[in-house]
Amino acid sequence: MKFLVPVDGSDCSLRAVSYLVRLAKCREVVEIQVLNVREPADTWEVRRFLNAEEIARLQQGEGEVQLGAAKALLDAAGVAYDSKVLVGPVAQTIVEFAIQQGCDAIVMGTHGHGGLTELFLGSVAAKVVHLSPLPVTLIK
């Protein structure tokens, strides 16, 4: 099976990675795609000080930092994975990437580092559940 795990460096997203590590140890073949999605930062205020190349480099760097702990968990467990940083509307980008990569399911934390979250379920998680034609497993 092929899983997508979106991460933002939050404890909740790292618990989703740990869940997949345990699952990978129980199954013969598991493919894991680790994804960090950055909100577009191409606003007038940002463009005033940075060009498109600098913005892209900054977003890639920030995404790699947020992927770091998840990659460390997977590396320590000896679980193979591919990782990617993308820019776009977060929930929509997660779902589109999962479909493009041929994933069987999405495993993600219920709450992340986002701003204001909903009472019981983070807004990104709620949107992914709503948009995804794939099964979504939420980890608290």
Structural domains of the chain sorted by starting position, each given as residue range(s) with its CATH number in brackets: 2-139 (3.40.50.620)
Residue pLDDT, tens place only, 41-79: 866 677 778 888 998 999 999 999 999 999 999 999 999
In this structure, how many other beta carbons lie within 10 angstroms of the beta carbon of residue 89? Answer: 14
Single pTM value for the model:
0.90
pLDDT of residue 120 exceeding 50: no
pLDDT of residue 7 exceeding 80: yes
What is the structure's pLDDT at 91?
A: 96
What is the structure's pLDDT at 29?
A: 77
What is the structure's pLDDT at 112?
A: 62
Q: By percentage, how much of the chain surpasses pLDDT 90?
A: 74
Max Cα separation, the chain?
51
Residue pLDDT, tens place only, 80-113: 999 999 999 999 999 999 999 999 999 999 976 5
What is the structure's pLDDT at 48?
A: 77
What is the structure's pLDDT at 81?
A: 97
What is the structure's pLDDT at 116?
A: 42
For the chain, report the end-to-end CA distance as a whole number of angstroms.
22
Alpha-carbon gap, residue 66 to 71, rounded angstroms: 9
